[in-house]
Structure 1
Amino acid sequence: MATTITLDAPVATLINVFTVQSDRQRELVELLTIATEEVMRHRPGFVTANIHASADGTRVVNYAQWESAADFQAMLADPEARVHMGQAAAIADHFDPHLYTVESVHHG
């Protein structure tokens, strides 16, 4: 399923911004990609995930959609998922995960 961003989408949207040393950005991107493929996408309620790397090398953003906030919370409690989250936290200087709602969408 492709990521769809609409006002009425029945999903919980996670945006997690990681701050990272530029020499470790690629390592974090690869870890998040593997964790998503091997673990996260197999968890109940997972819809999509997108990993973004900033051009300046200092940030990695995970934009993910879950069927519900409860599904996201259940993933956070999953022991296998927690292993990968701990590995990502060890690479990043800081991370800031929050669930969001879509409030406005614009197209050219």
Structure 2
Amino acid sequence: MPTTAAIDSSRTVATLINVFTVAPERQHELIALLAHATEETMKHQPGFICANFHASQDGVRVVNYAQWESEKHYWAMRADPEARVHMDLAATIATDVQPRLFTVASHHPKA
């Protein structure tokens, strides 16, 4: 299984797209927390493939694009108490958190 993000409709990974709304002055704090949580906990969870964090240019959003080997692996991580601590902390920085699981339905790379 690859260890980097690959957007490909033939792969059967579970893709998490989590959109955080945050006060602009706390955007970097949230990204630092998410990066730390990933290094310390998430990347050691079974089924973890990768996580990427995107900062909106207006400062009010952080997007987490992560991939897990399966939906089962994702939900197991969500149930893990150590992972839960990090997720709860992120929710205290963000004013809104919108995690959703996706599959790649269509993929169009430049030829």
Pairwise TM-score range, normalised by the shorter structure = over 0.9
CA RMSD of aligned residues (A): 0.7
Match for 1:13 among 12, 15, 19?
Answer: 15
Question: Superposition pairs for residues 1-108 of structure 1, below 5 Å?
Answer: 1-108=3-110
Distance 1:9 1:30 in 2: 29
Match for 2:31: what amino acid? V
Q: 1:27-62 CA deviation, whole Å, 9 max, x = no partner?
A: 000000000011000000001110110010000000
The ranges of structure 1 where at least 4 consecutive aligned residues each deviate by more than 2 angstroms after the TM superposition are none
Distance 1:85 1:2 in 2: 22
Please, which runs of 5 or more residues in structure 1 have no aligned partner?
none
Please, which runs of 5 or more residues in structure 2 have no aligned partner?
none
Match for 2:37: what amino acid? A
TM-score by length of 1: 0.97
TM-score by length of 2: 0.95
SS at match of 1:7: coil
Distance 1:87 1:16 in 2: 15
Distance 2:11 2:50 in 1: 13
Aligned residue pairs, count: 108
SS at match of 2:107: coil
Q: Percent identity?
A: 59
